[in-house]
Amino acid sequence: MVQYTRAQIDASFAALSDATRRGVLERLGLADASITDLAEKFDMTLTGMKKHVAILEEAGLVITEKVGRVRTCRLGRRRLEDATGWIERYRQLWDARFDELDRVVEELKHKEKDDGRKKRE
């Protein structure tokens, strides 16, 4: 199945898989910018840009801060080769996955109990 140690599957990969988002990172490298600025620069809707920024933010590549009604974006300082951060992200992925597996397991447990009850009835 999947190697979660690999870039494809973590948030950074998802964040970098899109040309617009790479462009946003480059842009923010030059200067901080509001989401409105970025939407204009990349000729897209505010909603569209918000989504891109949210993905970059989740990956730790961008930090946003709301001052008044304006949300300003700047580059995150997280380095991709930061080993500790990387292992922690890897752990989080497995944790999220196993939380979902837990749900499936609980469901199977209940189903088994129900089936057992029916058999005895």
User: For binding to another protein (CB under 8 A), which residues are involved?
Assistant: 1-14, 16-18, 22, 25-26, 29, 55, 58, 75, 77, 79-81, 83, 86-87, 90-91, 93-112, 114
What is the closest distance, in whole angstroms, from the C-beta atom of residue 43 to another protein in the complex?
18
Assess contact for 32 and 73: CB atoms under 8 A: yes
Residue 104, burial from CB neighbour count under 10 angstroms (0-12, 13-18, 19+) = exposed
Task: Return the number of the residue (68 or 104) whose C-beta is nearest another protein.
Answer: 104
Closest separation in Å from C-beta 69 to another protein: 27
Distance separating alpha carbons of residues 8 and 112, to the nearest angstrom: 37
- Of the two residues 42 and 69, which places its CB atom closer to another protein in the complex? 42
Nearer to another protein, 69 or 120 (CB): 120
**Which pair of structure tokens corresponds to residue 96?**
């999220």
